[in-house]
Amino acid sequence: MVNIYLIMSLELGHIMLMGIILFFKVKKFLKEKNVLDFAIMWVLFLTGGLVIYNAYLNVSFALGRPAGNIYLGHWELGSFIGIMCTAPYFWFLLNLIEAKKIYTLPFVIGFYVEVYGFFESTPIFHMIYIAATFIPGSVALIVYAIRRKHGLSFSIGLSVVMFLFTDTFISPNMVAIYYSLEYVLMIVLILGVTGWWDRKVFFDKKYRAEISNSWIAGRIGSKA
Model pLDDT for residues 114-134, shown as the tens digit of each residue:
787 777 777 777 777 777 777
pLDDT at 17: 87
Side chain identity, residue 137 = G
Q: Taking residues 178-202, what's their average pLDDT?
A: 86
* Max mean pLDDT range (68-72, 75-79, 178-182): 178-182
Q: Give Cα 8 to chain centroid, integer Å.
A: 23
Q: What is the pTM of this model?
A: 0.72
> Half-sphere exposure of 72 toward its Cβ, with a 13 Å CA cutoff?
11
Q: CA-CA distance, 171 to 24, in Å (whole number)?
A: 30
Please enumerate in sequence order all residues whose Cβ is within 8 A of that of 81, keeping only pairs 6 or more positions apart, or say none.
46, 49, 50, 53
Please enumerate in sequence order all residues whose Cβ is within 8 A of that of 199, keeping only pairs 6 or more positions apart, or say none.
151
129-153 CB burial, b ≥16 within 10 A, e <16? bbeebbeebbebbbebbeeeebbbb
* Max mean pLDDT range (39-43, 59-63, 151-155, 181-185): 181-185
Please provide the CATH number assigned to the domain covering 2-223.
Answer: 1.20.1070
Report helix angle 105-119 to 77-96, nearest 10: 170
Give the percent of the chain with pLDDT over 70: 86
Q: CA-CA distance, 15 to 137, in Å (whole number)?
A: 26
Q: Is the pLDDT of residue 216 over 50?
A: no
Side chain identity, residue 124 = I
Q: CA-CA distance, 92 to 53, in Å (whole number)?
A: 25
Domain spans of the chain, in order of start: 2-223
